[in-house]
Structure 1
Amino acid sequence: MAITRYATARWEGDLKAGAGRLETPRSGVLAGTRYGFNTRFGDENGTNPEELIAAAHAGCFAMALSAQLSEAGHPPSFVESRADVELSMDGGPHVTGVKLSVRGEAPGVSADEFRRHAETAKANCPISKLLASVPISLDVRDA
Structure 2
Amino acid sequence: MGISRNATARWEGDLKSGKGSLSTPQSGLLDGARYGFNTRFGDEKGTNPEELIAAAHAGCFTMALAAKLTEAGHPPESVDTRAEVDLSMEGGPTLSAIRLKTRAKVPGIDDQKFRAIADDAKQNCPVSKALSAVPISLEAELLG
Report Cα offsets for 1:83-104 as digits up to 9, x if no partner. Answer: 1111001111110111111010
**TM-score under structure 1 normalisation?**
0.98
The ranges of structure 1 where at least 4 consecutive aligned residues each deviate by more than 4 angstroms after the TM superposition are: none
Residue 138 of structure 1 aligns to a residue whose secondary structure is: strand
Cα offset, 1:106, TM superposition? 1.0
Give me the CA root mean square deviation. Answer: 0.7
Q: How does 1:63-82 map to 2 (within 5 A)?
A: 63-82=63-82
d(CA) in 2 for partners of 1:28, 1:98: 27
d(CA) in 2 for partners of 1:50, 1:60: 15
Instruction: Please list every run of 5 or more consecutive structure 1 residues that lacks an aligned counterpart in the other structure.
Output: none
1:88 matches 2:82:
no
**TM-score under structure 2 normalisation?**
0.97
Q: How does 1:3-82 map to 2 (within 5 A)?
A: 3-82=3-82
Q: Aligned partner of 1:80: which letter? A: D
CA contact (8 A) 2:114 2:142 kept: no
Instruction: Please list every run of 5 or more consecutive structure 2 residues that lacks an aligned counterpart in the other structure.
Output: none
> Identity of paired residues, percent?
63
Residue 32 of structure 1 aligns to a residue whose secondary structure is: strand
Say how many residue pairs are matched: 143
